Structure formats: structure tokens, C-alpha cells
Amino acid sequence: MRLLVVSASMGAGHDGAARELARRLDARGHEPVVVDFLDAMPLRIGPLLRVIYGWQLRSAPWSYEASYRLWAWVPALCLPLIALIGMLTGHRLRRWITREGAGLVISTYPLASLSLGRDRLRGKVRVPVATFVTDFAVHPLWTHPGIDLHLCVHSQSAEAAAHQAKGPATAPGPAVPPRFGESAGRRAEVRQAMGVSDDEGIVLLMAGSWGVGDLEATFDDVVATGRYTPLVVCGRNERLRRRLSAKGVGHVLGWTDDMPGLMAAADALVENAGGLTCMEAFAAGLPVVSFRPIAGHGKQNALEMDRAGVAALAPTVADLAPALDRATGPLGRSQVEAGRAMFVSDAAAEALRLVAPVEPAGVGASLAPADAGEQSGQTRPRRSPLVRGARRAGVGVAALSLTAATMYVGFTGGVSAATDRGIGVTHVSSGDGTSYVAVRLGEKVLEDPRLPAILAQDHVTAVVDGALAASDPRDVRALSGASVDVANGGWGQHRGIQWERASADVVKASRAIRAATGEQVHYFVPVRSVDGFDLVSARLINEHVVHPTGLTMHPTLPQLRAGAVYVIDARNGDLTQMQSGLDRLQQGLAGRHVTVEPLSALLH
């Protein structure tokens, strides 16, 4: 039987699973054909998505984290995305199924599954479709009610997939080549070849197929434990290899095709994504520690694997050495056994159950009614090249427009919803018993000569808008002269479209404040919800975005706690009213044994 395996060149996890499933299907006497889902998109949108995704992970992880969380919090927002992806790719996916005469489709990429599930539910795809979920954490975009079977790497993942899709899900385990499970006896051989002693604690580090994450910082953190030596595989990143080799410690390798041997030689794997390398380590019996997980699926995979007991999570640098001690000691044995126990059965065999008894390839039932004529040989009226070209151009323009609109909505409203929940803005720890207090100043309060001394004495940040700094630079300079921390409060009453507003509130206002004080501004404290344009603008000028926990000038204080940012709005009051509100806030925090610091303390 011929089968279609749909992957996507968006990371080794999707491609690796597709290749292994194809190998297993071929070994069973079937004819798998692997295709790249990105090729199903018109006008080279697929490569553009890959570039955007890579840019997000490397340069703007907050944007990926925001979109990842937004889809999870509001699954209804997946519906327009499913419609868009289906419109862009459905026709070509159906043509591939027809061309190959496929009796079964297996997807290893979430967007491909959404498009196939949509058409399967609408009766346009008549062959069974299975999704192999490569992530431990099952995001809503991984599942669709039109998919016949969701294949997951763990029973915990299968339970989540079944709940989300309201359909069948099973947990055959990861799709990993058998050589990883057969390499345990090579430990002494590989260590001897590398010049590593038997008692040296070796921690394997991987740059990953995308090279995402701060691998150099993790390298230094492993060295700093004093008990473990990093073994780093840099792949084809020659610059990283040279930089790490220059440190004169650890073992630094470039490209290698003997990952099973390196896993046999190592004592633990430190990873940041929960992807294919993680699954290979489970098969090899290598303990796994998640550290500095990347945005989105990396963080969620780390949490879910820790909850399932198959990998440990080290949340901070201080937790890394203890986590490695546990993973490489007696306590790590149960983790290794839990990882090996994930390999329950063969995902390829589970998928084939959907077509038992197997139908002959190329039967008419595998086609949607609209495509039946292509298979049966019926002649369709042929459109002229001009009409066909116009139709393709129209679909392409519509697709690009919808894609741009979807990205714009996500970059504005989507990011705003995420930042309101604290994603992408400065994180405040509640563990040190400190809260951070600022006062948003108005013209009347700023002109009072007593203000700088009061704010300096009370360790409070002055939030000044750009228009005020431009019109009254002398009084703003007096704040800085009294060692008062000054933050950017936006431009003021600026109106305009998103990027113009961001430019004024972040960049223009920051320049005005810096011109008045002569000092760098470190924080942007907005009076509105922030969006992607604000976050990008702040990143470009090296400002941190602070999302206030509470605004107060009213008799009733908000619920006070440590690890919060409180801003007193004194734009419409005088100094007496401001000081009264500040005193009440400080007394309330003191009553809860919470220390007050300015926003500048967040930098330390």
C-alpha cells in the first residue's frame, strides 16, 4: 500500500519522526512517500513562515511565547487559522494524496494536521488520517476532530489529545531509530576514543537543528558546577565551536553522526526544547535535565516531562547542579525507567490499524467528490492559461492578505492579551519579599520643588511622559540630580496607528527624557495595553517593559503582595494628594512585611 507522510522542514523533530515512520512502514512492505507541508503553500509562503519562525525563536522569543500561550488560552482563535491554512494548502494536499494513490496519510506537523483534519471532516479527504504528535505537551493546534487517530509519545500526552480533539488517541511512544536503544554497551569504547576517564561526569549539550537558546551560557553553568564536564555537539555552527573550544575546558565537537555513541558515553543530557534529542535520550537510557527551555513549546514540554517523571526541570542556575546530582545518582534510575517505559509499541503499526483490512491503492473512495474526475479520467473543461493564471494570482493575493491580517491581529491584539497576563514583559519575583513602587507624574506635581526629596527618601521611581520632559526639562533634570529613578511613561496623548504610537510612546519619549536627564532610560511603563510594536521598539532601544500590577490614588488599596509593581497615578493631583496615596501604599506594604524598592532595583 502507498502512504503519504506529511512533515515540514521546521525542525529536526518533525522530519526525524517522518523519516523513522517511513522506515518502519517500508520495513513492513508498504511504500511511504514523505512530502514537505511547506511546499503545499502558494507563492513561497512556506519558506517565509520558516524564516519568521526562526527569527521569533532567536530574536523575539517573547512573540512566540505570546502567540503559543494565546492559542492555548483561547482555542476558539484556532478556527480562523484552520480556515486560512486549509484554504492555502488543502487543494495541493488532496492532489498529493491522489497522485500517490495513498490509502493512508500520517502527519508529523501540526498545521498539516489542521488542514487535513478540516478536509477529512468535510468529506474532501476520504482516506484515514493519523497525526503523530512529536511534542510531549499537546498544544490545541496539534489536534483536530477530523483526525482519525492522534499518536502520542506518552499516555499523559494521549489523554490531553483525546480531551482536546474529542476523538481517539493512543500512546505508542516516540519514533526513534533502534540504534539509540542498542548503544548502551558502547560507553567504555566511546569514552576511551574521546580520552575521557571512567569516573568523569559528562553532561551532553546539544545546539539543536535550529541552534536556538543560549548554549554558551549553559556550557559555562555546567563548568561552574565543578562536578561535571560539558560535552557539546555544535553541529555545523563552526563559530560556536571555535568560541567554546577557546575556553579550554570541556569537550567540544562539530558535526557527528554518532549520537547514539555520545549518549552512551554521557552521564546526563541537558536540553532546552523537549524535542527529538530528548526522545533519543529516553531510548538510550540517558537521564534528561531540562534547563533554560526555549519559548513556547520548549517551556511547556519541560513542565510536562517533569510532571510525568521522565525528565527533571532545573528552573534556575542554582538548581542545575542538584538536578544533575539527582539525575546521575540512584534517584535518576526511576526517571530512566520511566523514559524507557514510553516505548510501548510501534506508531507505524498503530496507524496501519486504520486501514485494516487494507484497501487496494488508488480506489475511488480515497478521493473527494470534487477530485473524482481526475482519477477516473473524465475530461474537465480546460480554462485558458490567462484564466488559470488570474485564478492562481487571485488566490495568492487573497492568501497573502489573510496571512498579513492574521499576523497583524496576532501582533496587536494577540500580544496585548498575552502581555496583560505578564508574558513578554519584565518578570518580577515574589520570593524576595519586595514590591516596586512608582509615581506617574503630572505637570502640577512635577513643578513642586519638594518632589525630588520625597521620591528619593521613599525609594520611588518617577514615571514621566515624553511631552512633559520636552516641555519642562529642568524639573525632570532635578529628579535625576536627586538620584531619583526616572522611567518612560510614554509620550502622553499621542494618537495614531500602532507603529506610530509605539514610536512616539517608546522611542520619542525615551529620547526626550534622556535629553532632559542626560541618562539612559531603562523602563517603559505604559498607561495602556502594549502590543508587538511596543515590545519590538523597546527591545531596539534596550528598554524593559513593565506591566503595573495596580494603579492607586483611591481610598481603597488593591490587594497588596510581594513581587508586584504598583504605580500611583498623580497626573491630575497635587503633591499633598500624591504623598497621601504614597504613604497609604507604603504602610499597607509594610503591614505585610514587604520591602519597597524603585523600578531600577529590577536590574539587579
Q: What is the mean pLDDT of each run of 10 residues along the chain (604 residues)?
A: 90 87 95 93 78 72 75 77 89 95 95 95 95 94 95 95 94 94 86 88 78 80 93 82 89 87 94 89 94 86 92 91 92 91 94 71 32 38 50 50 52 55 62 86 94 93 94 94 94 68 86 92 88 74 82 64 88 90 90 90 77
Dump pLDDT digits (tens) for 455-480: 999 999 999 999 999 999 999 999 99
Q: What pLDDT score was predicted for residue 79? A: 84
Q: What pTM does this model have?
A: 0.66
CATH topology of domain 180-340: Rossmann fold (3.40.50)
What is the bridge-based pairing of β-strands 104-107 and 129-132? parallel
Q: Which three cell numbers stand for residue 531?
A: 502590543
- CATH topology identical between 2-176+348-354+365-405 and 434-603: no
| Residue 63 three-state SS | helix
Where in the chain are the domains?
Answer: 2-176+348-354+365-405, 180-340, 434-603
Q: What pLDDT score was predicted for residue 492? A: 81
Q: What pLDDT score was predicted for residue 437? A: 93
CA 429/CA 418 separation, integer angstroms:
18
Dump pLDDT digits (tens) for 322-371: 999 999 998 889 999 999 999 999 999 999 999 974 443 333 333 333 33
Residue 314: is it exposed, middle or buried by C-beta count within 10 angstroms (0-12/13-18/19+)?
buried
| Residue 321 three-state SS | helix
CA 13/CA 256 separation, integer angstroms:
17
- Domain 2-176+348-354+365-405, CATH: 3.40.50
Q: What is the CA radius of gyration of the chain?
A: 28
CA 499/CA 20 separation, integer angstroms:
45
Helices and strands, counts by H and E, the chain: 26, 20
| Number of Cβ within a 10 Å radius of residue 164 | 19
Query: Please, which residues bridge with residue 586 across strands?
Result: none
510 and 488 Cβ atoms separated by less than 8 Å: yes
Q: What pLDDT score was predicted for residue 68? A: 79
Whether the CA torsion 449, 454, 459, 462 is positive or negative: it is negative
Q: What is the DSSP string of 492-525?
A: SS--SSHHHHHIIIIIIHHHHHHHHHSS---EE-
Q: What pLDDT score was predicted for residue 260? A: 92
Q: Class of the 434-603 domain?
A: alpha beta
Q: What is the DSSP string of 11-54?
A: -HHHHHHHHHHHHHHHHTT-EEEEEEGGGGSGGGHHHHHHHHHH
